[in-house]
Structure 1
């Protein structure tokens, strides 16, 4: 599996599981070496292999491939039919300028729109969006679960954040137009091989010199590849009346017109799309190789903290310290909100979170890293809850950082309590240290709970 696919799978697993924790997968990831991203990738692969999400991601990719193949075949057939329709059945002359414009016009117009999208900072590529919609629709029919939506959202989010949405849309769009142009070329060559066409140009107000100059100018680049361009005399004769042309145009002149038309189609229709497909594909490939998970973002920071080995966690599980610096809770005036909030500070993986028996009206939040500490403090300052229950692991020693954060969090509302989770696993000495530290913070003894039912009843009861 490529590096991008690993990160795509990890983001899909995160979205598919939402807030559900997997203790077995987290324990597996913590046992491995590497940085936070590598542990997240191991966590995701463990879950994906077990739950079948890896196979569903492969099915998504196969569906995308089949959708692209179907789009390319449709383009090939459309171009083939368009060429036969433009040239007709050879019963009447072919207006070469009109035929060239019909075969290349929409292609060149949309190519110009794609180029202008860079200056307008938009994402052109309508055929690319069609492919994407086909893939999503196909997945919805195959997979009724939410995993297909999670895989799709993970793909679009990862590529959008890396600035690659434009490029995968462009790759599909250019390949689709390339298939259309190849279909046009195939239809053109088949018609020219099996039928005899007379080529003319017509005008009411323009002089002959305009068409001579236009044909010769368009024939310069094809001429470098060996395609013929009609002589000025042959171009001028082709502008005569239809009856004269039908009788006077020689086979040599017809072959020259056919060669010019084929060369223009190749140079101005096929080669630009081929070159742009390669350029966009290379840009997309290099971009996908550089995609990394932003482990410090809110989407990943909580999981990264839980997957960190014990030696890297902010909390400390060493023997209880002899003394700790003191902090003091500062009660701030202001009206609290209506919500009841339970915030867990570095809750160990062997403790249930969210805890069972919690009232539905109580909101929960888990803090495992410095970024999350700052985020929760910011949210508490903006919208202080009516009741705030701060949960700590009783078996861990209260360290300076944890006490400082508890003092700051407790200062945001007037109704605050602390829950010492897993008190039955902690020593009497450690519980005594916790209680003394919390009393020093300004938490009253009645608001320090070591019994789970009392803590949950306090935060869950309505005022």
Structure 2
């Protein structure tokens, strides 16, 4: 699937609309067409291109972690194979280096997953926090937009998927470490002749034999020649002679154990964690802003975009006392209805002189009184498009839509009106009919 996907674009657009001045085109025919604006704005690097670059950087950081883990696996094995003049290698020490710490990490991971199963916090942990920090530094060095970087990380690392993302990276890194160790072990065994020995103080011979045979059960399914009881007893450190078949059996046992108990479980857990991560992210519910954007393009506009002229529709032409410019607006019957001025700081428009009622909605008390007097009479609320709506505006008009049966938002439009689309968007989101009062020369 080509990146960025529509879901990623939607998340990016929602984040940008909440934290920047970017707005999707209001009159796009559908959501897909609206999101195409991310492909062309801004110049020279569009938001979609920035999102692709950030994903590439994030993937490269993960690839760097896997590469470092692979190199560590190559480095760790030769030191564990350091032999004395008798070319003896302690099989216990090899297991501790290659599988002991792996088992400890698996146990810690399992306990952590069980303990955080019901947690819904956004704790990202040390590993993911480091990845995010590196990605931010790289994006800043690449002069990418900071809001786009935040939007990408919000999409890439959603709260309920973080632990699976961290798990997939951790299992992948350990898998690379163990696979590199397996390759280096195979190389050393092909080019060196060593005697595998063991020694213990706390365990008896019978206990060590039983432990080795238990570990041999799964590798034995693959038909490998593994050490039997005689091979184990012949490998005591105080015995100097060891046959070639015994050495080969121990070598098969070591390679099979690393693969069966190390590489394969990590590979399986990596695939499971990645699947859970993508499943959790794909089934995550849409945010409030994402739902608003989706709803915005699911319903066609229900208002008229034509200017009602004076001759054919009896438009009211009134004079503005400040500049004497004619205003073509609604018909005369609309101006005989009750009107309200929402957060109005400019002089009162002269074309509202015929309104049956006119009130200001500049304070919470005035707005609460207006809502308490709701009735079925048509009412027009005039807003100033030179000012941007905020969360308080959204809350008020949501209450108006629920309280009044025939409300209408009238948007005052002149040369300085830079937020017409924002008010239109708010009207659609609050399910209010709206119109524009256009001032013309």
The bucket for the TM-score relative to the shorter chain is 0.5 to 0.7
Q: Do the aligned residues in 1 keep the contact of 2:38 with 2:46 (CA within 8 Å)? A: no
Aligned-pair distance for 1:49? 7.9
Secondary structure in 2 matching 1:41: helix
Deviation larger for 227-236 or 137-146: 137-146
Question: Alpha-carbon deviations, 1:308-340, whole Å to 9, x = none?
Answer: 766358xxx997677979999999xx998xxxx
Give yes or no for the alignment of 1:82 onto 2:76: yes
Residue in structure 2 matched with residue 421 of structure 1 by the alignment: 412
Secondary structure in 1 matching 2:179: helix
Q: Do the aligned residues in 1 keep the contact of 2:178 with 2:263 (CA within 8 Å)? A: yes
Residue pairs, 1:27-426, within 5 angstroms: 27=26, 30-33=27-30, 38=32, 41-45=35-39, 47=41, 52-89=46-83, 91=85, 92-121=87-116, 130-143=130-143, 145-147=145-147, 149-156=149-156, 159-160=158-159, 163-241=160-238, 245=239, 247-291=240-284, 293-294=286-287, 297=288, 299-300=289-290, 311=301, 351-354=385-388, 364-365=390-391, 367=393, 373-374=397-398, 400-402=405-407, 421-422=412-413
Which gives a bigger RCO, structure 1 or 2 (Cα 8 Å, sep 6+)?
Answer: 1
Question: Does the C-alpha gap of structure 1 residues 153 and 197 become closer, same or farther in structure 2, counting only changes over 3 Å?
Answer: same
Question: Alpha-carbon deviations, 1:8-54, whole Å to 9, x = none?
Answer: 2333344346555457x424xx2313xxx656634545546875121
Q: What is the CA–CA distance in structure 1 between the aligned matches of 2:106 and 2:173, rounded to whole Å?
A: 12
Q: Do the aligned residues in 2 keep the contact of 1:175 with 1:273 (CA within 8 Å)? A: yes
Q: Do the aligned residues in 1 keep the contact of 2:16 with 2:22 (CA within 8 Å)? A: no
Q: What is the CA–CA distance in structure 2 between the aligned matches of 1:108 and 1:8, rounded to whole Å?
A: 37
Secondary structure in 2 matching 1:311: coil
Secondary structure in 1 matching 2:407: helix
Aligned alpha-carbon RMSD (Å): 4.5
Aligned-pair distance for 1:207? 1.2
Q: TM-score, normalised by structure 2?
A: 0.66
Q: What is the CA–CA distance in structure 1 between the aligned matches of 2:399 and 2:254, rounded to whole Å?
A: 65
Aligned-pair distance for 1:214? 0.4
Q: Do the aligned residues in 2 keep the contact of 1:82 with 1:184 (CA within 8 Å)? A: yes
Gaps of 5+ in 2: 118-122, 309-329, 341-356, 366-379, 416-436
Q: Do the aligned residues in 2 keep the contact of 1:31 with 1:309 (CA within 8 Å)? A: no
Aligned-pair distance for 1:276? 1.2
Gaps of 5+ in 1: 337-343, 355-362, 378-398, 407-418, 425-449, 453-463
Q: Do the aligned residues in 2 keep the contact of 1:63 with 1:135 (CA within 8 Å)? A: yes
Residue in structure 2 matched with residue 26 of structure 1 by the alignment: 25
Question: Does the C-alpha gap of structure 1 residues 190 and 305 become closer, same or farther in structure 2, counting only changes over 3 Å?
Answer: closer
